[in-house]
Structure 1
């Protein structure tokens, strides 16, 4: 009885609140936010509604008049075009309609005379017609996001949204204005392939669960997919060493569930370390980054795993020519759930054509040239607990490892040389999401991540032992608050603290040598940001900034202010311009050791800025872009300028006269990106072109300015995919102009004036490699058993023309004072196949 009495009082309070709002406005009733109505219903009836924020955030309804939950839900269904489905006694889901029936009468702007013969055109469809003698029109099955144009000679055209007809009990009255037209926002719902879309803030969102097919990959690969976008490439043909607008890989901020990742690839960068089947979405940001994010002077990739409680168990398992994996989403109770995934390669006991090709590329210029054993694995888990309808906590964990062991027989030696390399990453983080009021929310998060790279080499009849280690430990805590000042204005504030410790160790027993370099940096950051969206949705964007206080416990303390701006404006129907800008900084970088350290395979070591040999790396970037989208056609162009200061030659991978100098400098990139994409439900085809002019400036060198090691001037991709029933086919070609390198001086190649002798080089990066060309293909077929269970068979071929592209060229001086030319060659023809079951 108490429970019933409590529910009655709650309902009376619910009706009283909305009744007062309604009464205050008398007639007509004041509209209220659907989100607020759902919140009150959850409190009153102890239920939970599951919905996408974008489906309800802009929806307003009259205050409910009914006196029961079922009746109120019926009202919402009838007035919003949103369907509420009951899953059980507590859980409901909201589904936004995809089509709508529309009807109306067209009048002049004084609403006195009907206009017969007015043309009605619905963009993105084959629907069109003219109004009847009484000015009426009607259409069924109109896409809910479609734009409707109504025009007639002597009147200005009018643009309406199909979703405006949802709440109409009767046919709409449309008055053709003399000087007014309403325009819809430009939004790309499919970008290159399904599961990719461009957002209003110019970032790209990838949804692996809805992902289509790209050339060369039989299964989704997150870091391979992002390289299909203009301005994002890899000059060494790996999936993890990604260059965003001419920056190095260590200048990218890679986040997994908000945790910074210091390891991103398996098999030394040839395979992505993140399981796409447990990754819900990926956000890619090249410029105009939110003030919430720190680090990443070149770009940001933020990955998120399961975000909501699953209603039922689902999972999958698969195998390809490198590895096998399994994952599952497991409801534990009404308020909790668990997501797990595991993947392991079987390359340590089975050699496949794919593994052979990968090995040839990975080990081609290293010491690993005899019998070797390699394998990798990764494991993830996430636990979600709903404390109550307004507070939810989650904990995520990811661990990954690469392991290489090999033996090398040596003449006149009783024992072979033995070496091993272990690369491990362990990360754990938690997040508390809270809704305090209808206008105030917060997210409190914390994480710990550890990256460990260990190498051991035993040689000279077990007499010499070399041990090397690179260890990164990082802790972080962040608080973000969001306050809705008004419907179109949101204020974001927050604080972030990060402590990063990095240690580099080298020990040799013969001759005795030991080195142990370590340091700690603490960073405090406060940030604020104002987000605005106009009522007509033509103007969107944010402006904000971060203030960072950075403290190296041994050397320096510094304040850095980082302003950010991201504005988009719809100039004409389907035509939008974007203005983006940002200042960013970072205190972690990777030095590239070319002295065959870490067995000559993994030459990168994480280090901290010390304010002297390696200052804080800072960037500033600005860009302007224009894009045009009419559902079936997207055309976009962006021009940008980026400057990065505080780089050291050790972080750039020089392989010429400058590689041991340790100078501090900068680089600037001026570039443009172009993309044209045509698509429908069956196919998508795209052509992208990127131009970069990327130059170093080191004032103490001669010459002071010369091409960047990553200065790939031109990059072109032509690709497409086609769907026939359950069969998907993808094919594409990639072209890049050659990257720069430095040749020895043809007339005087060896410098005999120094001891030991060295190579005399031409001017830095004054030569270029041959152009790069690769053609890829892929296909998969889905065999469906029911709504939940299916089997997907996939095949792919990278570089099916077997063109051997030169990725890099450098030189070494031999003991007999001859110069050895070293060339890194691209992957040859690389087949792969996969079988996957989803249930």
Structure 2
């Protein structure tokens, strides 16, 4: 009746005032009809108590005047309580013994504060103050005001360069903006000078190192996963002469001259598939650091360079999991909270060869089996099986706000097994050959913040490496066993002390015991040779971090080393200096002395089935000396409006290398000698960064010469001298899509060819001057793409595709010669990877 009267009046009347009054009457009339269907909450409570055999407890004024629509009779108790909380805005709290307490939701309130540096000299602008449902930023005077909903809510205060502050909301006094002092982070010693160097996530710091943040990483050509040892090859001055991650050449050095650390644990094995992919699972690596010069004195070894990989150091509150696969392996990652103070990270990866043989796997296998026992006996070989896996574990435990404990474990394994068949005396005989390469490492890391100025870190680790092969020779009825083991124990204690706001002092002690054993065991004729050596070193190190003004950064230090075995003393100064010039230029000077006691040698090219023929050995201060290096570099950087230009020249000399560590396959293959190499080089980078696009061009020039006084030719080109190298690349990122393409060109590697006249003398090759010829130039074009998307709430996914060597160019990476049955030199050629696709799919929870 009311509705009909209202409609009739609206059709016949032009009185706007009356129209408005009747419209309101219509609305309230409709509301009164709906309201009449509601019942008092007290009646509904009685019904629920009877149905679920429980008891509600509340103050009478809490539910007085509260009406609610009837509920669905099929709902569970939890559904009813959720509905009541939403409709009434009251809190229903289930207690013990079937009681449910009802109380009014407390109103939100505001807190405020003023942030200062611990010294009281600086007001902290730009700090982030985070509550459960709101956040704010401190102003120029360090003041903030924030709305919170509960007195027990945790307030998180963070500022770059300072330790995070955690406080409960009820610790803030009402109407009183108290001063909150924040403590500087002593571990933040080097600042990022250049962000997004080449691509997003790569930065260059004021101490000359490169830092890679894989939580905020872009994309590089040919790569769809965050492989550290592949990533760093995009930077100038780093090459891999044979395209493997187990043969990285940093400024002309060999791979055994690189220090590779995983959470400060030294690794003697860096690759899976015997060098084609990194042995460290990309999922667990959150940050990486590359140092080419000016190394911090707390690090020893690595006369060519240092590569540091770190896992997530934070205690995570939420469960995280990721499962993925590509055309080589499948992996899983999980981060599991254990209480409020600790979390456990678990990662595992395994090859999928047992399930499917992909084109990528075939390309990789053909690459590693070149010039090996597998290829030589391919017609007689059967049942070829290859497998690899790795397992990572990390426990993050915050004992208190000042004490942090980290425990790490790593397991890596590669295994190749094949059967050789032959008909001997009219009988088919078979025998199995195998090659196993594995590493096991573990470490404990403990940090203690004593006060606002002093922090100490204690670390202990154990790392064990083994390479073992069994070569069955059916024709000679012989079994040849080879084994190479490394066992290293290390302890390091270091402390940081803030002498002043601009000066921090680092000091520490390190003990390292390294044992290496090599076994050669032949059954017919019986021959067993085993050599074991142990070296213990004690080291003291110190460095001053000096920041007198914002535009200047100076790190100067030294490392003192005492070798028990040789009773020797080595002092190594280290320096990094960075100075801003004008407004957009920076000058950099780096210098260091370093040494290492371990190196890799090749006795014979067919050792360990010819697949992984390098073995670790220790210096003996006789025919295998301690390797020492000296390096200095200087560079200039221009960075403005998305343009980045960097040029760096360097001079490096490495003394005490052995001929057997260089892998000669010419007239010096079986010659033992001790020498040096000298590198003069230039690294240049031009990078233009737009909003969504980054394009770059890098160029490296290297003059790398051997010096062997005992050789007939005392000076000649280094085996890994890549005189010119050019890289052109571009990456594009928009929303959830990332694309990259890149071209790599470099001059050919040195090689030694036979003389055209009289190429063979006394059944041996008569060579030209060592490394006087050059292989064909190298060219490779790579592309890659990834796409991130959401499958459902809480489930994210990523898919990606890459193609390595898209043009399928046959790049020659090595040649050597053998005398055939007609006494004619036969050239053997090793090729790089051909066109190699890879695809990935990953889900994260």
TM tier, shorter chain? Answer: 0.7 to 0.9
Alignment partner of 1:437 is 2:520: no
Q: Equivalences for 1:386-425 in 2 at 5 Å?
A: 386-412=398-424, 414-425=428-439
Cα distance between partner residues in 1 of 2:259 and 2:774: 30
Task: Write the deviation string for residues 278-297 of structure 1: whole angstroms up to 9, x where unpaired.
Answer: 11200000001011111100
1:590/1:604 contact within 8 Å kept: yes
Alignment partner of 1:492 is 2:493: no
Larger mean CA deviation between 222-231 and 805-814 belongs to 805-814
Alignment partner of 1:629 is 2:629: no
What SS is found at the alignment partner of 2:343?
A: strand
Task: Write the deviation string for residues 735-759 of structure 1: whole angstroms up to 9, x where unpaired.
Answer: 010110111122121122xxxx321
Given candidates 339, 358, 378, the residue that maps to 2:390 is 378
Cα distance between partner residues in 1 of 2:532 and 2:624: 14
Aligned to 1:217: 223
Larger mean CA deviation between 497-506 and 313-322 belongs to 313-322
Cα distance between partner residues in 1 of 2:404 and 2:469: 42
Cα distance between partner residues in 1 of 2:821 and 2:410: 46
Cα distance between partner residues in 2 of 1:32 and 1:332: 33
Task: Write the deviation string for residues 555-609 of structure 1: whole angstroms up to 9, x where unpaired.
Answer: x221000000000000111210000000000000000233311111110100000
Task: Write the deviation string for residues 400-447 of structure 1: whole angstroms up to 9, x where unpaired.
Answer: 000100112224352124201110100000111110010000110000
Aligned to 1:286: 292
Aligned to 1:128: none
1:216/1:796 contact within 8 Å kept: yes
Aligned to 2:516: 502
Aligned to 1:196: 202
Alignment partner of 1:783 is 2:795: no
> TM-score scaled by structure 2?
0.78
2:200/2:217 contact within 8 Å kept: yes
1:235 CA displacement: 0.4
Cα distance between partner residues in 2 of 1:774 and 1:376: 27
Cα distance between partner residues in 1 of 2:155 and 2:326: 38
Unaligned runs of 5+ in 1: 1-30, 38-57, 98-184
Larger mean CA deviation between 452-461 and 759-768 belongs to 452-461
Q: Equivalences for 1:117-156 in 2 at 5 Å?
A: none
Given candidates 541, 554, 564, the residue that maps to 1:527 is 541
Q: Equivalences for 1:335-346 in 2 at 5 Å?
A: 335-346=341-352
Cα distance between partner residues in 2 of 1:530 and 1:812: 56
Q: Quickly say closer, same or farther: Cα 1:679–1:359, change in 2 above 3 A.
A: same
Aligned to 2:573: 563
Cα distance between partner residues in 1 of 2:409 and 2:774: 44
Alignment partner of 1:725 is 2:735: yes
Given candidates 542, 546, 552, the residue that maps to 1:539 is 552
Aligned to 2:95: none
Q: Equivalences for 1:672-691 in 2 at 5 Å?
A: 672-691=682-701
Aligned to 2:236: 230
1:33 CA displacement: 5.4
Larger mean CA deviation between 238-247 and 282-291 belongs to 238-247
Cα distance between partner residues in 1 of 2:455 and 2:701: 42
Given candidates 476, 479, 504, the residue that maps to 1:465 is 479
Cα distance between partner residues in 1 of 2:146 and 2:450: 25
1:417/1:462 contact within 8 Å kept: no
Task: Write the deviation string for residues 168-224 of structure 1: whole angstroms up to 9, x where unpaired.
Answer: xxxxxxxxxxxxxxxxx9821211111111111111111122211111112221111
1:512 CA displacement: 1.3
Cα distance between partner residues in 1 of 2:718 and 2:193: 36
> TM-score scaled by structure 1?
0.79
Q: Quickly say closer, same or farther: Cα 1:473–1:584, change in 2 above 3 A.
A: same
1:495/1:525 contact within 8 Å kept: yes
Q: Quickly say closer, same or farther: Cα 1:390–1:90, change in 2 above 3 A.
A: farther
What SS is found at the alignment partner of 2:429?
A: coil
Cα distance between partner residues in 2 of 1:335 and 1:739: 54
2:420/2:474 contact within 8 Å kept: no
Q: Quickly say closer, same or farther: Cα 1:439–1:339, change in 2 above 3 A.
A: same
Cα distance between partner residues in 1 of 2:706 and 2:522: 36
Larger mean CA deviation between 645-654 and 235-244 belongs to 235-244
Cα distance between partner residues in 2 of 1:785 and 1:277: 20
1:311 CA displacement: 2.2
What SS is found at the alignment partner of 2:321?
A: strand
Aligned to 2:658: 648
Aligned to 1:272: 278
Q: Quickly say closer, same or farther: Cα 1:747–1:223, change in 2 above 3 A.
A: same
What SS is found at the alignment partner of 2:489?
A: strand
Q: Equivalences for 1:49-88 in 2 at 5 Å?
A: 60-61=123-124, 79-80=141-142
1:95 CA displacement: 4.9
Cα distance between partner residues in 1 of 2:573 and 2:697: 34
1:240/1:264 contact within 8 Å kept: yes
Larger mean CA deviation between 336-345 and 459-468 belongs to 459-468
Aligned to 1:182: none
What SS is found at the alignment partner of 1:350?
A: coil
Aligned to 1:834: 840
Cα distance between partner residues in 2 of 1:480 and 1:222: 27
Alignment partner of 1:696 is 2:702: no
2:295/2:592 contact within 8 Å kept: yes
Task: Write the deviation string for residues 221-279 of structure 1: whole angstroms up to 9, x where unpaired.
Answer: 11110000000110001123111000000000000000000001000100111112211
1:812 CA displacement: 1.7
Task: Write the deviation string for residues 351-395 of structure 1: whole angstroms up to 9, x where unpaired.
Answer: 100011111111121111333110100000001111111111110
1:78 CA displacement: 7.6
Cα distance between partner residues in 2 of 1:88 and 1:280: 35
Q: Equivalences for 1:218-367 in 2 at 5 Å?
A: 218-367=224-373
What SS is found at the alignment partner of 1:410?
A: strand
Cα distance between partner residues in 2 of 1:595 and 1:218: 34
2:467/2:484 contact within 8 Å kept: yes
Task: Write the deviation string for residues 757-789 of structure 1: whole angstroms up to 9, x where unpaired.
Answer: 321111110100010000000111111357863
2:447/2:458 contact within 8 Å kept: yes
Alignment partner of 1:476 is 2:490: yes
Cα distance between partner residues in 2 of 1:462 and 1:81: 84
Unaligned runs of 5+ in 2: 1-113, 161-190
What SS is found at the alignment partner of 2:367?
A: helix
Cα distance between partner residues in 2 of 1:764 and 1:510: 37
What SS is found at the alignment partner of 1:301?
A: strand
Pairwise CA RMSD of aligned residues? 2.6
Task: Write the deviation string for residues 335-355 of structure 1: whole angstroms up to 9, x where unpaired.
Answer: 111111000001244210001
Aligned to 1:822: 828
Q: Equivalences for 1:652-667 in 2 at 5 Å?
A: 652-667=662-677
Cα distance between partner residues in 2 of 1:649 and 1:193: 39
Cα distance between partner residues in 2 of 1:216 and 1:423: 27
Given candidates 525, 533, 536, the residue that maps to 1:511 is 525
